[in-house]
Amino acid sequence: MEFAGALRQAIQASGLTLERIRHRLRRRGLAVSVATLSYWQRGRSRPRSRAVVVALEEILQMRPGTLTELLDDPAPAVRGALAAAPSGAAERGRPVRELWPDPDGYAGLVGQLDRSGDHRLERLSIHDVYRLDDVRRSWTLSVRTVLRAAGDGIDRVVCVHEAGAGNAGLAQVRYCRPGRIRAEGGMMAFELVFDRVLSAGDTAVVEYELGLAGEPPPDSCDRRFPHPVHDYVAIIQFAGGRLPARCYGFTAESSRSPRRRLAELWIGTSGSANFAAGAVRRGIVGIEWEWH
């Protein structure tokens, strides 16, 4: 079901008027007009704040995540100069697990972790730095993520990465501590426990590093987005003097969809290239390169 239809049905089932809903949102410090609520339920516009959507779920007595999951558009569109064309209707509605080569393996892996707060976390920014050694035998990934709570009582976030056939290690964790860690089928999933329990509106910053020996990415690196993020930056750093002939940004709808190549990226004198994207929705975004 689309977001507008689900919201409209919930409002009708609640028996509340739009004015009463506006009033209850206002009591929570969230200013939304009756006209805006009307637009949302008619599909003329969509909320930008996850905090408001979480509050609507509570006010309308809906299961947590019912509306926020529908709000997450599955198309990995990127706004700005490197914008990709909108995806077709056939690509919409893909489940999150299809972002991964082994969907069932992904579902089984993350099912072992506590994701109860994931749908109530707003991803403000994610910055990835990939470092590939000069003989292409190992790589590291450094990540900084900024999150904002859209509800109370959130104490962790779940992260998932492809690990390949090598042994991935989680290191250099900052501003948080590792919780449960699971790795199988070429994937690694882990909990990062915040240094305090978040209330609605609180922010958290987590940093960590992954290292993998024996199987670096052959010609690309990517980030898979089960949730939207306001700001994403990826940097690929090539060690030594050997540089690829060219680099490109790309997006994809799922692990089985073709990549949509975007603009060519400049490789600077530092031996690095970067790709910046704003307002990324669900999907895959990454950098690929071609060797001489």
The rounded distance, in Å, linking the Cα atoms of 197 and 214 is 38
Average pLDDT per block of 10 residues along the chain, 292 residues long: 85 93 92 91 83 91 84 50 36 72 91 88 95 77 94 92 76 94 91 94 95 70 92 92 90 92 92 91 91 83
Residues 65 and 152 both lie in one domain = no
Phi/psi of residue 278, each to 5°? -115, 150
Q: Any idea what DSSP says for residue 79?
A: B
Q: Indicate the pairing of strand 121-132 with strand 229-238.
A: parallel
The rounded distance, in Å, linking the Cα atoms of 50 and 118 is 12
* Beta-bridge mates of residue 178: 192
Confidence (pLDDT) at 132: 87
Among 14, 36, 71, residue at a domain's last position: 71
Confidence (pLDDT) at 193: 97
Residues 149 and 278 both lie in one domain = yes
Residues 22 and 164 both lie in one domain = no
What size, in residues, is the chain?
292
Note whether residue 76 is domain-resident: no
Count of structural domains, the chain: 2
The rounded distance, in Å, linking the Cα atoms of 145 and 229 is 10
Note whether residue 81 is domain-resident: no
Residues 130 and 40 both lie in one domain = no
What CATH number should be reported for the domain holding residue 27? 1.10.260
Note whether residue 263 is domain-resident: yes
Residues 15 and 113 both lie in one domain = no
Phi/psi of residue 41, each to 5°? -75, -15
Confidence (pLDDT) at 166: 59
Neighbours of 65 (CB within 10 A): 17
Cβ distance 197 to 155 under 8 Å?
yes
Confidence (pLDDT) at 51: 84
Please tell me whether residue 240 adopts helix, strand or coil conformation: coil
SS (H, E, C) 149-193: ECCCCEEEEEEEEECCCCCEEEEEEECEEEEEEEEECCEEEEEEE
Enclosing domain of residue 201: 89-290
Confidence (pLDDT) at 44: 81
Residues 17 and 142 both lie in one domain = no
Residues 121 and 16 both lie in one domain = no
Cβ distance 114 to 156 under 8 Å?
yes
Confidence (pLDDT) at 137: 64
Confidence (pLDDT) at 76: 45
Residues 273 and 130 both lie in one domain = yes
The rounded distance, in Å, linking the Cα atoms of 46 and 4 is 8
Residues 147 and 207 both lie in one domain = yes
Confidence (pLDDT) at 94: 63
**Cα separations (Å) of 224 from 149, 156, 253?**
21, 19, 10
Note whether residue 40 is domain-resident: yes
Q: Per-residue pLDDT tens for 53-87?
A: 889 999 999 988 888 877 754 444 454 433 333 33
